[in-house]
Amino acid sequence: AAGSLAQAETGRLIVVSNRVAPIEEGQPTAGGLAAGVLDALQTMGGLWIGWSGEISAEGSRILPEKQKGKIRLQTLDFAEADYQQYYRGFANSALWPVLHYRSALARFSRSDYAGYRRVNELFANAVADALAPQDVVWAHDYHLLGLAAALREKGITNRLGIFLHTPFPAAAVFMTIPVHADLARALCQYDLIGFQTESDRRAFEDYVLREADGHLLPGRALMAFGRVVRTGVYPIGVQTEEIREQAEPPADCPQMARLHRSIGESKLIISVDRLDYSKGLNERFLAYERFLEQNESRRGSVTFLQIAPPSRSDVETYREIRLELEREAGRINGRFAELDWTPLRYLNKGFARQMLMPMYARADIGLVTPMRDGMNLVAKEFVAAQNPIDPGVLVLSQFAGAACELKAALLVNPHDPDEIAAALERALSMPLSERRERHAEMMAVLRRNSLTVWRDRFLGDLKGRA
């Protein structure tokens, strides 16, 4: 065992995720995964394998490698059918809703699942081509639940780990996926499965113990499907110092000057989310409307800036939510706007981090109210971007993974518009001393559970250091 441990120490790191970070600097990144993995890999280097974002008429294929700083990037194009069945189909129309406790929105089909398995095999081929005996493989998220099984079928015995960025739902919810048993069996081919929170880890453990005949071993390990698999909790973090630096843009930044000019002395509430039904956007709009109804004196002196870049727009449920939000934003503005005041600014585009962090710093409130979220890095970035002398207030859903750590935020139930409206008013009138205390408490957590700690703990456990 000592020999294999030493070998594992010397191997390279191969990261696999469906989405990789954009090659060019200053481009918006879709979701927390790509940004987090990029930061975590930048210092230590390694090979990163993922989808190019392109559909190719020539069928699925592995493209030549590119270099991005210390990272070697290997991307794959997908054939149309692979994209449809794996990405649009099984991953985002079946798995995503169920993992976020929205089984009623899930659309399952056997052919989509076949496509999902096919693309997992495609990724396994790319990994196998690059793999040396001592390398460790770190897979990310719900797109790749079947990667380890595909690699094991090729006889590969390297250490394989996966980190799930999304929630893992209660067993009864997970079981609404018709192929749940197959997925669980495939997952157990990994050596280590990482979760964002203890309740996600427990839900998985509970499923394996009750539904898959598994049993507990010491050290958070499980015996299931004839294998030993370890589980662990690794809440993904952010790089606080880098964010604080980005939050202070050069004094002559034209975009920020535009924002300052147009907001003036107004209080600013900011939300940034992919346009996704799990983010609670509609519920949030209604809560803001409730706030305006209840706090007449705030009208005209507060602006709610909702940045919501479109996401997965060829999935029906995503098209529906987009239409619904357009209607609601128009209705709320129509009801409350004045000649010189727009209560809600709704933007369907993404911004690069260099723009977002100064906006967070300018905002008085970060309003982060997903119905369910694995972690939600916007919540953490908002806190890290604040000026500690005069920090803004975070209003956070109790159903975001981040709520387990950011207990000094104003925690709300996203299903309760009155509670959110009251939290907004409380945040706007919160004394400076309380804002500082809450901010300092949250910063202490963020510094302790940094992105580096997340990476090192996961890889340490994967390589076998306890």
Residues that bind ligand G6P (CB under 6 A): 19, 30-34, 141, 165-166, 274, 311-312
Residue 19 near residue 34 (C-beta atoms within 8 A): yes
CB closer to ligand G6P, 200 vs 364 = 200
Report how far residue 379's alpha carbon sits from residue 190's, in angstroms, rounded to the nearest whole number. 30
Query: What SS3 state is found at 119?
Result: helix
CB closer to ligand G6P, 21 vs 229 = 21
Q: Which residue is nearest to ligand G6P (CB)?
A: 31
Report how far residue 435's alpha carbon sits from residue 337's, in angstroms, rounded to the nearest whole number. 30
Residue 163 near residue 458 (C-beta atoms within 8 A): yes
Report how far residue 379's alpha carbon sits from residue 386's, in angstroms, rounded to the nearest whole number. 11
Q: How far is the CB of 305 from ligand G6P (least distance, A)?
A: 21
Is 140 among the residues known to form the active site?
no
Q: Active site residue: 165, 200, 273, 461, which one?
A: 165
Task: Name residue, tokens 């079981």.
Answer: 175
Q: How far is the CB of 382 from ligand G6P (least distance, A)?
A: 16
Is 252 among the residues known to form the active site?
no
CB closer to ligand G6P, 37 vs 462 = 37
Q: How far is the CB of 159 from ligand G6P (least distance, A)?
A: 22
Q: How far is the CB of 194 from ligand G6P (least distance, A)?
A: 13
Which among 272, 342, 354, 351 has a CA at the least distance from the CA of 308?
Answer: 272
Report how far residue 181's alpha carbon sits from residue 174's, in angstroms, rounded to the nearest whole number. 10
Residue 29 near residue 441 (C-beta atoms within 8 A): no
Q: How far is the CB of 166 from ligand G6P (least distance, A)?
A: 5
Residue 226, judged by CB atoms within 10 A of its CB (0-12, 13-18, 19+), counts as: exposed
193: left (phi over 0), alpha (psi -120 to 50) or beta: beta
CB closer to ligand G6P, 273 vs 419 = 273
CB closer to ligand G6P, 32 vs 370 = 32
Q: Active site residue: 191, 200, 273, 373, which one?
A: 373
Report how far residue 377's alpha carbon sits from residue 402's, in angstroms, rounded to the nearest whole number. 8
**Active-site residue numbers?**
165, 373
